[in-house]
Structure 1
Amino acid sequence: MAHEFDTATLRKYDSDYVWHPFTQMSEWESADNLVITRGEGSYLIDSDGNRYLDGVAAIWTNVHGHCKKEINEAIKAQVDRLEHSTLLGLASEQAAVLAKRLVEILPDGLCKVFYSDNGSTAMEIAVKMAFQYQMLTGQRERTRFISFANAYHGDTVGAMSVGGIDLYHEVYSPLLFPTIKAPSPYCYRCTLCEERDSSTCGMLCLQELERLMESHAHELAGLVIEPLVQGAGGMIVQPPGFLKGVRELCDRFGVLMLADEVAVGFGRTGAMFACQKEGVTPDIMALSKGISAGYLPLAVTVTTKRVYDAFLGSYAEMKTFFHGHTFTGNSIACAAALASLDLFASERLLESLPQKIAYISERLQGLAGLPHVGDVRQEGMIGGIELVRDKESREPYHWEERVGVQVCLEARKHGLFLRPLGNIIVVFPPLSISMEELKILMDGIEASIVAITE
């Protein structure tokens, strides 16, 4: 039986008992924070009945809007049949069907699906899988990984090890295994050149990556990359051809390519998967967030037959991939994912995106002229607006000033919920957002930036 509480009570319970992620709790506990109780389409609704357009898609997960009828019904139907069994010693109907459906739409060659429950675990699996593959194929010297500056792959120890954001990872450095860091094509603050030209920046980064791979190829188990966009690193968009160039270097030096599509998969870039935009098939791919349309924890790590076959052998050979999670292949989460894939088809969601993508681009270019907008970046339905103290010198705001946070708080006056990355305002709405709602979102973002920075 559901219980109803007033806003003050809910805030007290939250403040007294909940420890929030990525949050300084001493500040949180003294604030009048929003308590969300319902969702409807592109909107979140708080305990006082106020509506907020969800500009970050429930932290990059929501695809079809909140409380989508078809997904609700699929979940309810599955609850009445089976909540969960296990993939340890049993097959599962929903997990088997979802795996087949995924393989049908994944980049060509990815054909085996390993289930887990979030992006961090999907990447942890990818790293362990690549490492063990090298051991099983007799390449025992290949124990290291190459990854990119500004990368974020999750918060478990292995995923942090291949990350590259000091703010999140530095304190844990004694726990992490060392990796080789390649520069990311962050043209706006590129350390390799003075030009603000993304093609030049990408070319120089590929050249430096080639040098690193040539020097270390004999010891590399794999290369880890967020295809097309580095998310938590600041919505850093890679120039066209960069991903394809990385794939070619991996092929040349015999290095497994691990693609982290946790944030960019399932239509977010305008294609079903980011790798497909450049005709790239990674050796291993991690997927989560949008896979269940923002409903339930679910993730997969998918790989090629070549990688999978290396783990086959007799029981005595000990080639088994000894990894698993309690709720691996959960039936209810898989049912939600299947309903989401059905909606992609029935609502022709991908076909609706070009108009929305073009509108976001138009509005971002308009924002680029504001005095304290240093850079705007976009890939598909992803946008990033970098706020700076001085446009000419590119001097950033100090993170302690929390200008990004102030803009997002101001946006609530315009009926928006936003969550910044430092002083970068993130544009990441549900894919199903209407053109009218998209205008409300971009108008509110513009007004909020102007109110705080001018």
Structure 2
Amino acid sequence: MLHLPDLTTLDQQHLWHPFTPMRQWCAPEHTPLILVSGHGCTLRDQFGNEYLDGNASIWTNAHGHTHPAINAAIIEQLGKVAHTSFLGFTHEPAIRLAKELVDLLPGGKITRAFFTDNGSTAIESAVRMALQYWKQNGRPERDTLVAFDRAYHGDTLGAASLGGIPLFKGSGNDFGYRVITVPSLEALDSLNAGERLRIAAVVIEPLIQGAAGMRLWPQGMLKKLDDWSSEQDVFLILDEVMTGFGRTGKMFACEHEGVVPDFLCLAKGLTGGYLPLAATLTTERVFDGFLGEPNEGRTFFYGHSYAGSQLGCAAALASLRVFRDEQVLEQLPAKMARLGELMVDLPGYRQCGMIAAMTIDSPDLSLGSKVCLAARKHGLLTRPIGNTLVLMPPLCVTLEEIGRMVAALKAALAEVTSPECRTA
């Protein structure tokens, strides 16, 4: 068995971590944090230190770590089969999960679920479906996607081409789909008739943009966008990879404004944060647009080896049961209120359900990272977006744990920031 120093050395010699400055990570004086176990909202490192999971393990964990119901569902499925191909085959967990997911949306508009493995591929599926639909259903001129300034929809090539944050596109920003980027609904409405006729779909993170620094959309904007899309007969794609499964106080963010889109993209919290699984939910209209004889070429030729994974579907079904059995959504209003009460005095504070953020106003963009490192000494793990500090705990978090998280964040902020920025 390897000892901890050996693991650290091997990590620095052989691993390449995402979104991580690796020169600093591999420096001899740096000791990587090795997370070894977790329960509920608590994680433990290689030294036995405990931390509250302040960002739900990158916005994925819904019901806490090692939840007995999800653990049991995965173990039960393992006793049957772990994985079989979903290309030309099917299985019970995927069938049941598809039915449960489409039933979560009102009105019967959403009828189909297409499974992949992460948020980027959920978006890829939606945009490819939208573009192919128009091409083979009499409107081939509809070859353009509309996205919003500062948007983030994933890192695969097509999803990244929708993004409005150059940093996340890598060294070359000219790639992917034909995309028009607009800053607001008003800018979208001002597009000329020729541009509108080329639009296949509009893509948005509803209510709040995540990687943009937890930037809130104006109330009512989503409903207006839905109305505009319907008037133009343009598909509306909602990226609920972050906001889905209770993060905004309802199961899906679109429920706040009574919107049911043409495509709903889900991942992260779909399995309760346990396993990679994504779903692109869509309508019978879209599905019908791909029907035909094999030699007509109307099939959607896209998919992944682990699409519809039995283990992922079993975890997702268990997560949805936990939402029902433990009345997760019903308990959120008190938690959201407590989060707001404790953070309202922080600079640049904003909140959307169980997503809370504040921003340090400083030209030194390293302060956010320094605050998060300092927070570890106070028992909190979270991750900044530049100088925006985010608390997005698992939904099972208690009022007492919320208090400890905010206290740790404030203590770390006071230690790191200049006197004029201190709030603790």
Fold-level similarity (TM above 0.5) = yes
* Structure 1 position 443 matched with structure 2 position 407: yes
Determine helix, strand or coil for the equivalent of 1:173.
Answer: coil
* Structure 1 position 176 matched with structure 2 position 173: no
Aligned length in residues? 415
Corresponding position of 1:42 = 41
Instruction: Give 1:351-370 correspondences, 5 Å limit.
Output: 351-367=330-346
Q: 1:249 aligns with which of 221, 225, 228?
A: 228
Corresponding position of 2:70 = 71
Contact 2:143 2:178 in 1 (8 A): no
Determine helix, strand or coil for the equivalent of 1:432.
Answer: coil
Question: In structure 2, how many angstroms separate the alpha carbons of the residues matched to 1:411 and 1:327?
Answer: 37
CA shift at 1:107, angstroms? Answer: 4.5
Instruction: Give 1:123-142 correspondences, 5 Å limit.
Output: 123-142=123-142
Question: In structure 1, how many angstroms separate the alpha carbons of the residues matched to 2:177 and 2:21?
Answer: 27
Contact 2:145 2:177 in 1 (8 A): no
Corresponding position of 1:191 = none
Contact 2:12 2:25 in 1 (8 A): yes
Question: In structure 2, how many angstroms separate the alpha carbons of the residues matched to 1:444 and 1:213?
Answer: 51
Determine helix, strand or coil for the equivalent of 1:33.
Answer: coil
Contact 1:382 1:428 in 2 (8 A): yes
CA shift at 1:251, angstroms? Answer: 1.1
AA in 2 matched with 1:47: Q
Question: In structure 1, how many angstroms separate the alpha carbons of the residues matched to 2:72 and 2:147?
Answer: 41
AA in 2 matched with 1:115: F
- Deviation per CA, 1:233-288, whole angstroms, max 9, x where unpaired? 11111121011011111111111111100000001000000111110011111100
Contact 1:217 1:254 in 2 (8 A): no
CA shift at 1:7, angstroms? Answer: 2.2
- Structure 1 residues 307 and 366: CA distance shift in structure 2, 3 A: same
* Structure 1 position 149 matched with structure 2 position 113: no
Corresponding position of 2:121 = 121
* Structure 1 position 408 matched with structure 2 position 363: no
Of 205-214 and 404-413, deviating more is 205-214
Question: In structure 2, how many angstroms separate the alpha carbons of the residues matched to 1:303 and 1:26?
Answer: 43
* Structure 1 position 275 matched with structure 2 position 248: no
* Structure 1 position 382 matched with structure 2 position 355: yes
Unaligned runs of 5+ in 1: 184-204, 368-372, 390-396
Question: In structure 2, how many angstroms separate the alpha carbons of the residues matched to 1:214 and 1:286?
Answer: 28
Of 156-165 and 312-321, deviating more is 312-321
Determine helix, strand or coil for the equivalent of 1:137.
Answer: coil
* Structure 1 position 57 matched with structure 2 position 56: yes
Corresponding position of 2:422 = none
Question: In structure 1, how many angstroms separate the alpha carbons of the residues matched to 2:407 and 2:35?
Answer: 23
- Structure 1 residues 299 and 426: CA distance shift in structure 2, 3 A: same
Of 95-104 and 8-17, deviating more is 8-17
* Structure 1 position 428 matched with structure 2 position 401: no
Corresponding position of 1:187 = none
Corresponding position of 1:160 = 160
Determine helix, strand or coil for the equivalent of 2:33.
Answer: coil
Corresponding position of 1:348 = 327
Contact 1:117 1:299 in 2 (8 A): yes
Contact 2:166 2:173 in 1 (8 A): no
Question: In structure 1, how many angstroms separate the alpha carbons of the residues matched to 2:269 and 2:200?
Answer: 28
Task: Calculate the aligned-residue CA RMSD, in Å.
Answer: 1.2
TM-score normalised by L of structure 2: 0.96
Question: In structure 1, how many angstroms separate the alpha carbons of the residues matched to 2:318 and 2:312?
Answer: 10
CA shift at 1:381, angstroms? Answer: 0.4
TM-score normalised by L of structure 1: 0.90
Q: 1:25 aligns with which of 17, 22, 27?
A: 22
AA in 2 matched with 1:129: M
Show structure 1 runs of 4+ deviating over 2 A: 174-178, 212-215
* Structure 1 position 326 matched with structure 2 position 290: no
Question: In structure 1, how many angstroms separate the alpha carbons of the residues matched to 2:117 and 2:330?
Answer: 29
CA shift at 1:172, angstroms? Answer: 2.5
CA shift at 1:106, angstroms? Answer: 2.6
Question: In structure 2, how many angstroms separate the alpha carbons of the residues matched to 1:83 and 1:151?
Answer: 35
Corresponding position of 1:202 = none
- Deviation per CA, 1:9-44, whole angstroms, max 9, x where unpaired? 221121111100011111101111210011111011
- Structure 1 residues 233 and 107: CA distance shift in structure 2, 3 A: farther
Question: In structure 2, how many angstroms separate the alpha carbons of the residues matched to 1:213 and 1:226?
Answer: 24
Determine helix, strand or coil for the equivalent of 1:325.
Answer: coil
Unaligned runs of 5+ in 2: 420-424
Determine helix, strand or coil for the equivalent of 1:175.
Answer: coil
- Deviation per CA, 1:167-214, whole angstroms, max 9, x where unpaired? 11152313333411110xxxxxxxxxxxxxxxxxxxxx3222211275
Corresponding position of 1:13 = 10
Contact 2:55 2:390 in 1 (8 A): yes
Contact 1:42 1:54 in 2 (8 A): yes
CA shift at 1:398, angstroms? Answer: 3.6
CA shift at 1:215, angstroms? Answer: 5.2
CA shift at 1:298, angstroms? Answer: 0.2
- Structure 1 residues 98 and 417: CA distance shift in structure 2, 3 A: same
Question: In structure 2, how many angstroms separate the alpha carbons of the residues matched to 1:176 and 1:404?
Answer: 32
Contact 1:6 1:47 in 2 (8 A): no
Instruction: Give 1:171-320 correspondences, 5 Å limit.
Output: 171-183=171-183, 205-212=184-191, 214=193, 216-320=195-299
Question: In structure 2, how many angstroms separate the alpha carbons of the residues matched to 1:298 and 1:94?
Answer: 13
The percentage of counterpart residues that share the same residue type is 45
